[in-house]
Amino acid sequence: MTLAEDICPVPTIAPADTDAAIAAARAAVGLPVGTRVVAAMSGGVDSTVVAALLHKAGYEVVGVTLQLYDHGQALKKKGACCAGQDIHDARLAAETIGIPHYVLDYESRFRDAVIDQFADSYLRGETPVPCIRCNQTVKFRDLLDVARDLGAEAMATGHYVRRAVTPDGRVQMRKAIDHSRDQSYFLFATTAEQLDYLRFPLADLEKPQVRGVALDLGLRIAAKPDSQDICFVPNGDYRTLIDRLRPEGRQAGEIVHMDGRVLGQHEGVTDYTIGQRRGLNVAVGEPLFVTKLDPVKRHVIVGPRDALLTASLTLEEINWLGDQPTLEVAAAEGAAVLARVRSTRAPSPARLALADGAVSVVFDAGEEGVAPGQACALYDPADPDRLLGGGFIKSTAAVA
């Protein structure tokens, strides 16, 4: 493999039944042909194919792209796949498809709602998930307002999730057919009202098939590599960004064993995350992991791996898509759930609890490496593909 292929791996393109994909997109939208639908176009393969499928399905499609960060600066980053090309690719795709296209400057909103929150979260010793914040605020709040202002009856995105409507007319969010691409964790904060307006036409396709549809429709982005990094940190060096935005986080402190021993020094708590093992530069004869961060005392607290086991966590900024009226009601009932604390980790059996008005998730067995600031997405044990909602992790309690 060449260096270029190492940086931007050549993707797999599979044959696709484009006619079936068009029919599936029409079914996913569920509105009369000719209805105006806004397609959120990021410049990537998925959202471009969504716009093309909806156009082929007979809808009046309007493409909208958000400029979220300084693409000119992104072009200077080495090793970032296709950085700086997204807006250009979206505009060219819209021209190829034959639909109107608008680019909206959302840099200031994105900075306030996502980038600043990202930096502040690290400063508090948390582990943020900026993609969720972006979906929760800029995309599924602000952009939905734009879609309505444009007179659209729905907004479609390239997310790999399924929107289902029950016989009694209630909407559910479910995993897409390609579980390896499932993005429901990142969309846990989508409200029922937002879900009623959103559409996800790629629910029945796997990624190589999506690329096959793009190739079949003559879209030049068919082989465009997927983004591998946080969009506003295209080289992966988020610590440099945090140091620039929040230099007060770059204060030296102590690395302290959970038994009280001072084992060494560090140059800033923003260099560390819960569960981290590498880069501690301390040795006591046993593997050590970051178990807690105390930004007030500037302490990085370390301990053995079993100290990472979490018995329960409390949630804040909660959202609920389940059958009970609210998440608090479900928690008061002690409802069983499957709790997912990281996008790359399978959900774990747990139960909800309510104490002093706060919703908690109590794991059946200890869950490792849970950190404040992360999201906890909840699924239905009786129907594991169904997303019930979730919240951001406020605090954790270790296994005794």
pLDDT tens-digit profile of 22-43?
A: 999 999 999 999 999 999 999 9
Report the pLDDT value the prediction gives residue 82, as an integer from 0 to 100: 38
pLDDT at 81: 37
Q: Identify which has the larger pLDDT, 78 or 308.
A: 308
Give the per-residue pLDDT at 76. Answer: 44
Which of 249-253, 288-292, 309-313 bottoms out in mean pLDDT, i.e. has the lowest?
249-253
Residue 72 pLDDT > 60, yes or no? no
| 213 class by beta-carbon count within 10 Å (0-12 exposed, 13-18 middle, 19+ buried) | buried
Q: Cα(first)–Cα(last) distance of the chain, in Å?
A: 49
Residue 9 pLDDT greater than 80, yes or no: no
Given a cut of 50, is residue 132 above it in pLDDT?
yes
pLDDT at 52: 98
Mean pLDDT along residues 282-292: 89
Question: What pLDDT digit, counting tens, does each position of 190-228 carry?
Answer: 999 999 999 999 999 999 999 999 999 999 999 998 876
Beta bridge partners of 351: 336, 362
Task: Summarize pLDDT for 382-394 with one digit per residue, the tens.
Answer: 999 999 999 999 9
User: Does residue 74 surpass a pLDDT of 50?
Assistant: no
Contact status, residue 351 vs residue 337, Cβ threshold 8 Å = yes
Over residues 62-69, mean pLDDT:
92
Phi, psi of 174 (to 5 degrees): -135, 165
- Sign for the CA dihedral angle at 19, 24, 28, 31 comes to positive
Does the pLDDT at position 8 exceed 60? no
Q: Of 62, 64, 45, 61, which is closest to residue 205 (Cα–Cα)?
A: 45
- Is the pLDDT score of 4 beyond 50? no
Percent above pLDDT 90 for the chain: 76
| pTM across the whole model | 0.91
For residues 228 and 70, what is the distance between their CA atoms, to the nearest angstrom? 18
CA 116, chain centre distance (Å): 17
- What average pLDDT does range 371-376 have in this prediction? 96
The predicted structure's pLDDT at residue 75: 40
Q: What's the rounded mean pLDDT across residues 136-153? A: 94
3-class DSSP string for the chain: CCHHHHHCCCCCCCCCCHHHHHHHHHHHHCCCCCCEEEEECCCCHHHHHHHHHHHHCCCEEEEEEEECCCHHHHCCCCCCCCCCCHHHHHHHHHHHHCCCEEEEECHHHHHHHHHHHHHHHHHCCCCCCHHHHHHHHHHHHHHHHHHHHCCCCEEECCCCEEEEECCCCCEEEEECCCHHHCCHHHHCCCCHHHHHHEECCCCCCCHHHHHHHHHHCCCCCCCCCCCCCCCCCCCCCHHHHHHHHCHHHCCCEEEEECCCCEEEEECCHHHCCCCCCCCCCCCCCCCCEEEEEECCCCEEEEECHHHHEEEEEEEEEEEECCCCCCHHHHHHCCCEEEEECCCCCCCEEEEEEEECCEEEEEEEEEEECCCCCCEEEEEECCEEEEEEEEEEEEEEEECC
Report the pLDDT value the prediction gives residue 80, as an integer from 0 to 100.
Answer: 38
How sure is the predictor about 77, in pLDDT bands with cuts at 50, 70 and 90?
very low
Distance CA 47, CA 55 (A): 13
Residues serving a catalytic function are 134, 231
Mean pLDDT for the stretch of residues 40-58:
97
pLDDT band per the 50, 70, 90 thresholds, residue 3 = very low
| pLDDT tens-digit series, residues 92-108 | 999 999 999 999 999 99
Cα–Cα distance measured from residue 43 to residue 71, given in angstroms and rounded to the nearest whole number = 12
Torsion region of 165: left, alpha or beta (phi above 0 gives left; psi -120 to 50 gives alpha): beta
Pick from 331, 46, 328, 1: nearest CA to 181: 46
Under 8 Å between Cβ of 86 and 71 = yes
